[in-house]
């Protein structure tokens, strides 16, 4: 089963809310990655999942982790809440690195590191950015 098939069966229906059809944008992101980039993928996100089964908001961390389980690569998720990071770590596997810290500072450090490469997808989803 391909990831997009799995998405359509398992994740898309949970994201398809009448007032917020989130499934369309997430499916488009995954399809774009598969079409335009090559595994192993690097995905970075700011703001991580805050609670299990929060399909009306959040869950990007879990979705990205599931995508990487199929295709390979790494997720780097940054959140300033230690509690949110703890929860996220329980919902992902070894493909994901959850960093507790300020996302703006962390992204600047990654960009300045000569050994780092640009992510295939940068998902900006922080709630508490000044």
- Could you read off the pLDDT of 39-65 as tens digits, one per residue? 999 999 999 999 988 888 779 999 999
Q: Is residue 126 part of a domain?
A: yes
Q: Is residue 61 part of a domain?
A: yes
CATH number at residue 84: 3.40.50
pLDDT at 21 over 80: yes
Q: Is residue 98 part of a domain?
A: yes
The answer to whether the CB of 88 falls within 8 A of the CB of 51 is: no
Q: Is the peptide bond before 40 cis (omega within 30 degrees of 0)?
A: yes
Look at the pTM and tell me if it is higher than 0.95: no
Q: Say which DSSP state 127 is in.
A: S
What DSSP letter does each residue of 36-98 carry, written as one string?
H--SSEEEEEES---STT-TTS--HHHHHHHHHHHH-EEEEEEES-HHHHHHHHHH--TTEEE
pLDDT digits (tens, 9 = 90+) for 56-101: 877 999 999 999 999 999 999 999 999 999 999 999 997 899 999 9
Residues 6+ positions from 120 with CB-CB distance below 8 Å:
33, 37, 41, 42, 43, 73
Q: How many domains does the chain have?
A: 1
Report the share of the chain in percent with pLDDT over 90: 79
Q: Is residue 11 part of a domain?
A: no
Containing structural domain, residue 52? 40-130
The CA-based angle 36-70-9, given to 5 degrees, is: 95
Q: Is residue 111 part of a domain?
A: yes
Residues 6+ positions from 66 with CB-CB distance below 8 Å:
3, 6, 11
Q: Is residue 16 part of a domain?
A: no
Q: Is residue 1 part of a domain?
A: no
**Distance of alpha carbon 109 from alpha carbon 119, whole angstroms:** 14
Q: Is residue 124 part of a domain?
A: yes
């Amino acid at each position: 089963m391909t990831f997009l098939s799995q998405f359509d069966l398992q994740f898309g229906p949970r994201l398809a809310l009448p007032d917020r059809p989130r499934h369309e944008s997430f499916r488009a992101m995954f399809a774009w990655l598969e079409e335009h980039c090559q595994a192993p993928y690097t995905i970075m996100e700011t703001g991580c999942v805050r609670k299990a089964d929060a399909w009306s908001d959040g869950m990007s961390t879990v979705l990205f982790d599931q995508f990487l389980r199929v295709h390979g690569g790494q997720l780097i998720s940054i959140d300033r809440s230690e509690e949110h990071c703890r929860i996220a770590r329980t919902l992902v596997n070894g493909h994901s690195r959850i960093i507790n810290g300020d996302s703006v500072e962390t992204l600047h450090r990654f960009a300045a590191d000569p050994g780092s490469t640009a992510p295939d997808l940068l998902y900006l989803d922080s709630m508490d950015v000044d």
